[in-house]
Chain A
């Protein structure tokens, strides 16, 4: 299979080739010295197109062939630079058998019609023939620095240098003749090549074995040399692309098929020889893409790729049936090479298809033929596959890069400025200035939490917001008022009405009294007046009872008016009317003029039959009187009459309102009121809707508005309804499509969070996904702490929030110095807290620990940091409450934390590993601010720790001790003011997400995330250089014994390299332990055990020591893991020494 796929492209020509230096073409010229099956002697030049995208191996012709009178020995394609308008693809030069050098213009060939017969080139494909040589021209080369210069060499070693500025009329420089200075003249030139580094130097190899290096400027040979051992024919030579003074010469003489590398500084004998071919070498090509690679092909039918630095064969191409006489690298596509074979084929290979030379045999297939074995990779990878530079992003806005130069250096020094070290790694950080400023205010307000601050925030936003937003912010602000509804009414422009109502309420009595003192007409007028007093200043003529009914049916009243307070109005009016009637009655004493209906009414009234009276009044059209009478006649009658009246007059909008209010069916009202007056509707709801229906009704209104397309109004209604999700959907929808600016999302997020806070709801999915995306934006800017605070605003936002938070905390769990609000308190808190974690099995009381203890905790905590959040948090929780009162910050003067104390993220350690590390974050704050919060979490954690711990067998009830230790190290010493309540919300979130995360996340027992210790021992720590001056006296013995142990082992290891390495590694690890002891970073229980162990060691009892070490492994693995293995090894060595 490998063989069939060997060729990338191929064409059946027995030809020498030239790749185009700039475009994907290849030119072939019929090879001299080979006869094909038809014995034809025709020769032609063809250009083929290379399309690697096409998987077919056939190469299509790019244009018609051009006939040549003789066959070619050499074909070269002029490099880019000789391009002019006439020759956009350069110039092809061919050296022919008859001594002529033909110049062709590929531009004329490409695209020319492909005929059966080659054209004669008169169309312009053949530019000119230069007839200067008399023998076959085998040496031909364009100068890469000045592409106008073409050198040709043929018989008798004389070189012609042509200037092709005007290709049609090339001019000839004075020829280069050899033979000066007593050197034997060069024979027939077999190959010619310009130096790759120096412009005026070229070299020629010749068939008499002499290789001559010429200097064009001085017009003479500089050096000439031959193989000292044999005068062998040289068939090919190549300059080293990198080193200007090196070249390689090959011979096609079967007796000396080696390749010789000559360095011109020593022209006496070759610098190196490459042995590989068993017969003469016919052609060579030194890769410019990778100067360490050289291709050769020879008469032993092998085509080899050499590693020129090592002098070894890197790869071998599959053998063909006849010799390759030409091999070339593609100029444009690295890794592609061409071979021309005497069996009439030009093939292009991908170097990757070549196998390493000692590929073993494969399995024998069903026919008994041994299949090729699995391909061995080449020893060296080509340079074009070696990535020199790269940079990749990481979580948190960091960029890791290798092989990177700083831009400044480049500008200063140009392209040749110092190359960066290929083995150095750099870490970069991206910065954005813009985003953060906006959010600080916001965060402050939110984390402050009180409705006052939020209200203030809304105010500020409103004052600087655009119009629509202004309204939105206004609404949001209202939600924080105590009397939200009232404020809302005010906001909806009914404020004046509201005020007036209140005034009127107090004035109602007065007004009624005043009205009573007037005449009937005045009374009826007064009724509207008093009614007017309860309405707004811009009142339209209110319906005055009598006047209205007398003019029934009346035209519909003017729209968009403030709604009068119906009940009060009716009451006032009724009162006034009653008074008026009474007055009128009083005034008109004693005459009573009754008409028929009046009489009826009177009669009914006299007997107390209110129902009849009412009916009579209604029949008579005296609706007002009817209502009055009904009101007297009992609740039932009143309601009936009222309902009947309302129904009859339902077309009047205000009556519709009144009817709805009366029947408590605001929903209907909301559904039917005109949308344009949505504010009014909202105000109505505001006033009348009972609390439980308020949201639903506002929602209905919002729905209607939305479907009518008034999104903004709908969003305001959503705000009032407290429907966060709907509001968010609207706001997000109103953002421009496509990539959204972070500030826009931030704006939406602000509103959403404020709304959530106002309504006291749990965060919906809309809000949490918004928060997540904004947090992600912050993270990519590296604003991890800000991101966390945003995530904390949606504590119950679900999995996405939790995961992101975990990811952040994992990232920053190790030493991110605090910038966030968590700041110093947490830093100190963590370091303090860390010390608590070390309390394994130690029932020592808090007071019992002096200086070493707190610090030890810090170290101990480190390995546990990736530990299970659950256990972490729980630990402090359980005892925190109890402990809190008994410890005040000043209890034991905690030593200053180790300087590089686990700066520790505010966050809870990742949910992955059950190290049982306490969650430093929450607890200290909890102690300080809200001990009461601890108990709730307790329960949840109780479940978690066992599962976590079981994985490590650390069964100790760490919680009590941990918590206990937490106390004395309270930041009291570090921070005077306890963190304000704003930690509460933030604390909550680490708690809650952790718990489910713990329960849910499978305990990754087999694969703990590595937990580098914070702080870490210095990189090159070893037993020899570890400082132990600060170790407390009780631990000094430990140090001493361990050092002794190490020395013994070191001595025993002697020169054995494997052992030495082991000892070195153990040394590093144990030194780590000593270093920690030095910093008083080791927990008391561990110290205890260590003391035991060392006592045993000193007594020569290695067995006991090992037992103690096992105990340490079992119980204190979390803390001791990093150095325990080292200790174990040393003990083992020690026991084997004895």
Chain B
């Protein structure tokens, strides 16, 4: 396996970029930056034929924008962004290339920088989770009548909450059972990472209408910078990757629902690791660290993780 560079271009941002995300179809990329704007590019096409055109620039944040996330297109084209200005904004594309704010979180929702956002699997509806430096996480959902409902998970992590990621909606194991069974009811679960060196798995308890902490994943020696729950490809295990300021990336696996989480060190990168990204099908992990290096890792059949060599 190898990685090759397809294209590299200047985004037009005037300050450091902090996130880039592909949309559902892999056709557009949204970037956000310390210059408080979000830019959306069309990057479809392969290698030489590919052109990158700027479709839109979105302004509205009062501080550096930390993360962007595209929702599933079945609800229309929504893009969420979170920023140092304590706000989460959800943008909607009304017509080709024109985005407008569909929702901006109230100032009472978060009292400090919102560091990370993640859309829930589309089976849960149009639902967004956010992690903030005020130590709490929040979940924003669009109600059937079109209005938005925001609720908080207070005190998720002390000092601050840095990352959030949802579990896939499909219950694990659906590939092996090749039958026509009715799908099991989906459970809402998510994982958050924080400045208390922990990652926590939360489950939504329908009875009490609250998020309850299921597990605390303890292995990092310093802030957890990012958490990522991988798609499970129908196999009966859950996998979460966490990375931290201590330069390490851990892979956590839970082999049956409700069971214990075991962790394994993927690698010690020697520099704070900032970002993790699972491939769409969930078997390859991209790791980005403070040395400006991106490495891609794939699990071999015997459970070890091998780095895919990077090419120019």
Name the residue of chain A whose CB is nearest to the CB of B225.
A387
Cα separation A766 to B11 with both chains bound (whole Å): 45
A729 touches B288 (CB 8 A): no
Q: A390-B20, A425-B20 are in contact. Are A1008 and B292 (CB under 8 A)?
A: no
Cα separation A1121 to B97 with both chains bound (whole Å): 11
Name the residue of chain B whose CB is nearest to the CB of A422.
B16
B77 touches A1009 (CB 8 A): yes
Q: A392-B22, A732-B176, A1010-B42 are in contact. Are A406 and B5 (CB under 8 A)?
A: yes
Cα separation A1035 to B61 with both chains bound (whole Å): 45
Quote the shortest CB–CB distance from B256 to chain A (angstroms): 12
B31 touches A424 (CB 8 A): no
- Chain A, range 752-805, C-beta contacts under 8 Å to B: 765-766, 769-770, 773, 776-777, 779-780
Give the most central of B14, B15, B178, B281: most A CB within 10 Å: B178
A1012 at the interface (CB under 8 A from B): yes
Residues of B within 8 A of A52 (CB): 158-159, 195-197
Residues of B within 8 A of A332 (CB): 222
Q: A390-B20, A765-B178, A816-B45 are in contact. Are A427 and B3 (CB under 8 A)?
A: no
Q: A401-B294, A1007-B93 are in contact. Are A352 and B133 (CB under 8 A)?
A: yes
Residues of B within 8 A of A741 (CB): 301
A407 touches B293 (CB 8 A): yes
Q: A392-B277, A425-B9 are in contact. Are A1010 and B44 (CB under 8 A)?
A: no
B113 touches A807 (CB 8 A): no
A739 touches B283 (CB 8 A): yes
- Chain A, range 271-297, C-beta contacts under 8 Å to B: none
Give the most central of B8, B31, B41, B155: most A CB within 10 Å: B8
Residues of A within 8 A of B97 (CB): 1010
A113 at the interface (CB under 8 A from B): no
Residues of A within 8 A of B12 (CB): 423
B34 touches A381 (CB 8 A): yes
A428 touches B5 (CB 8 A): yes
B66 at the interface (CB under 8 A from A): yes
A1006 touches B27 (CB 8 A): no
B64 touches A431 (CB 8 A): no
Name the residue of chain A whose CB is nearest to the CB of B42.
A1012
Cα separation A336 to B53 with both chains bound (whole Å): 42
A769 touches B84 (CB 8 A): no
Quote the shortest CB–CB distance from A394 to chain B (angstroms): 3
B22 touches A398 (CB 8 A): yes
A398 touches B178 (CB 8 A): no
A549 at the interface (CB under 8 A from B): no
B16 touches A815 (CB 8 A): no
Task: Render A377-391 as a binary contact track against B, CB cut-off 8 A, 1 for contact.
Answer: 111010001111111
A1010 touches B286 (CB 8 A): no
- Of A381, A776, A779, which contacts B63 at CB under 8 A? A381
Q: A332-B222, A402-B20 are in contact. Are A1007 and B179 (CB under 8 A)?
A: no
A55 touches B11 (CB 8 A): no
B160 touches A335 (CB 8 A): yes
A423 touches B22 (CB 8 A): no
Residues of A within 8 A of B180 (CB): 765
Residues of B within 8 A of A1122 (CB): 96
Quote the shortest CB–CB distance from B37 to chain A (angstroms): 11
- Chain A, range 2-37, C-beta contacts under 8 Å to B: 2, 8
Cα separation A52 to B195 with both chains bound (whole Å): 8
Residue tally, chain A, CB below 8 Å to B: 106
A388 touches B16 (CB 8 A): yes
- Chain B, range 9-67, C-beta contacts under 8 Å to A: 9-29, 31, 33-34, 41-46, 49-55, 62-64, 66
Residues of A within 8 A of B174 (CB): 769
Q: A769-B175, A773-B234 are in contact. Are A336 and B274 (CB under 8 A)?
A: no
A385 touches B296 (CB 8 A): no
A173 at the interface (CB under 8 A from B): no
B186 at the interface (CB under 8 A from A): no
B7 touches A395 (CB 8 A): no
Cα separation A773 to B234 with both chains bound (whole Å): 9
- Of A423, A430, A807, which contacts B11 at CB under 8 A? A423
A1133 at the interface (CB under 8 A from B): no
Task: Render A902-935 as a binary contact track against B, CB cut-off 8 A, 1 for contact.
Answer: 0100000010100000000000000000000000
Residues of A within 8 A of B306 (CB): none
Among the stretches A125-133, A413-421, A506-514, A1045-1053, the one at the interface with B is A413-421
A1019 touches B53 (CB 8 A): yes
Name the residue of chain B whose CB is nearest to the CB of A742.
B283
B277 touches A431 (CB 8 A): no
A634 at the interface (CB under 8 A from B): no
- Chain A, range 319-347, C-beta contacts under 8 Å to B: 332-336
- Chain A, range 417-451, C-beta contacts under 8 Å to B: 419-433
B76 at the interface (CB under 8 A from A): yes
Give the most central of A333, A404, A407, A1010: most B CB within 10 Å: A1010
A812 at the interface (CB under 8 A from B): yes
A396 at the interface (CB under 8 A from B): yes
B25 touches A408 (CB 8 A): no
Q: A421-B10, A776-B281, A816-B46 are in contact. Are A810 and B27 (CB under 8 A)?
A: yes
Give the most central of A397, A430, A777, A1006: most B CB within 10 Å: A430
B283 touches A780 (CB 8 A): yes
B257 at the interface (CB under 8 A from A): no
B7 touches A53 (CB 8 A): no
- Chain B, range 260-289, C-beta contacts under 8 Å to A: 274-275, 277-281, 283-284, 286, 288-289
Among the stretches B104-112, B123-131, B137-145, B202-210, the one at the interface with A is B104-112
Residues of A within 8 A of B155 (CB): 55
Cα separation A797 to B176 with both chains bound (whole Å): 17
A403 touches B158 (CB 8 A): no
- Of B66, B76, B159, B283, which contacts A8 at CB under 8 A? B159
- A352-B112, A423-B17, A900-B49 provided; 8 other pairs, C-beta below 8 A? A379-B63, A387-B274, A393-B284, A399-B296, A400-B20, A400-B43, A427-B43, A811-B27
What are 26 sample pairs from A and B whose C-beta atoms fall under 8 A apart?
A55-B155, A350-B160, A377-B112, A386-B16, A389-B294, A390-B274, A391-B275, A392-B275, A394-B29, A399-B286, A400-B20, A401-B294, A404-B293, A405-B291, A423-B11, A424-B11, A425-B17, A425-B52, A430-B1, A430-B2, A738-B237, A740-B235, A773-B175, A776-B233, A1007-B92, A1008-B93
Binding site for B on A (CB under 8 A): 2, 8, 52-55, 332-336, 350, 352-353, 374-375, 377-379, 381, 385-408, 410, 415, 419-433, 725, 728-729, 732-733, 738-741, 765-766, 769-770, 773, 776-777, 779-780, 807, 810-817, 863, 900, 903, 910, 912, 1001, 1004, 1006-1012, 1016, 1019, 1121-1122
Q: Which 4 A-B pairs have the closest CB atoms?
A: A394-B22, A395-B26, A1007-B76, A766-B178
